[in-house]
Amino acid sequence: MRMVVFLVAAGLAAQQPSPEPLPTAAADIEQGGKLYRGSCGYCHGPQGDGGKGADLAKPKLERAASDEQLVNVIKNGIPGTEMPGAWHMIDNEIRQVAAFVRTLGKVESKLVPGDKVKGKQVYARAGCAGCHSVRENGRPVGSLVGPELTAIGSRRSAAHLRESLLDPAASVPEGYLIVTAVPRVGTAVTGTRLSEDTFTLALRDLAGRNHVFEKTGLKEVRKEPKKSTMPSFRDKLSAEELQDLIAYLASLKEPS
């Protein structure tokens, strides 16, 4: 009986179509590059070296080890992140983009200068954990006011990290919004928007507390796009401290 089950399973597996290889023709890769620069370059950088989006200029992509995984990520996006699906592309165009992205991974991985051990000490002294958290032994250590930084090195390039530290407002993620809710009765609350619909508004204040308001009970809602609650470290850290902090943040990667 076990042999019969094994043979049936083997037969079904044999019937599964093999993954379609990515195109390799120069014309396809060139077209993939055009599509990439038009739809992906804003976040991932024109050369794939990261920005608001992940650094793609490396041999191994954490979320797309195989070509089919890469095609799926481009097609469907990554739920819970800023990565949208390419709903505006047909399948062949998606595969052309994937083929171009693979060429970006053939460049040599860049070494981030600085001392990440000292950078972790700078992270602690600068009070970064007062807003951000980093997972240690599976548990977040720090605050939930700002974005979690556990895998920030996989999602942001060193150049983007530097910009975020020196000019936070220039690197505000898509969808991040500072809001002040002024109730008809009670104290105004300022924080980051967690969610909003026709009837309710949810915020997380600067102390990490969550608030949900019925919009009918609000006198005013003030929204401040392109604003960050994070201070600039331009005049707070020396050049060496800044580079060490960047090296530490860049070392925070998703597990392989």
pLDDT in tens, the chain (256 residues): 555 444 444 454 445 556 789 999 999 999 999 998 888 887 887 777 666 678 787 767 888 889 999 999 999 999 888 889 999 999 999 999 999 998 886 655 578 999 999 999 999 999 999 999 998 888 889 987 888 888 888 778 888 899 999 999 887 766 678 999 999 999 999 998 888 889 999 998 888 889 999 999 999 999 998 888 889 999 999 999 999 999 999 998 866 5
| C-beta separation of 221 from 184 below 8 A | no
| C-beta separation of 237 from 245 below 8 A | yes
Q: How far apart are CA 217 and CA 53, in angstroms?
A: 38
pLDDT at 13: 47
Q: How far apart are CA 1 and CA 225, in angstroms?
A: 65
Q: Which residues of 112-144 are buried (b: 16+ CB within 10 A; e: fewer)?
A: bebebebbbebbeebebeebbbbeeeeeeebbe
Q: How far apart are CA 49 and CA 46, in angstroms?
A: 8
What's the predicted TM-score (pTM) here? 0.64
pLDDT at 89: 94
pLDDT at 30: 93
pLDDT at 18: 63
Closest residue by Cα to residue 52 from 192, 143, 147 = 147
Could you give all domains of the chain from N- to C-terminal order, each with its CATH number?
Answer: 19-104 (1.10.760.10), 116-166+233-250 (1.10.760.10), 178-224 (2.30.30.100)
| C-beta separation of 134 from 149 below 8 A | yes
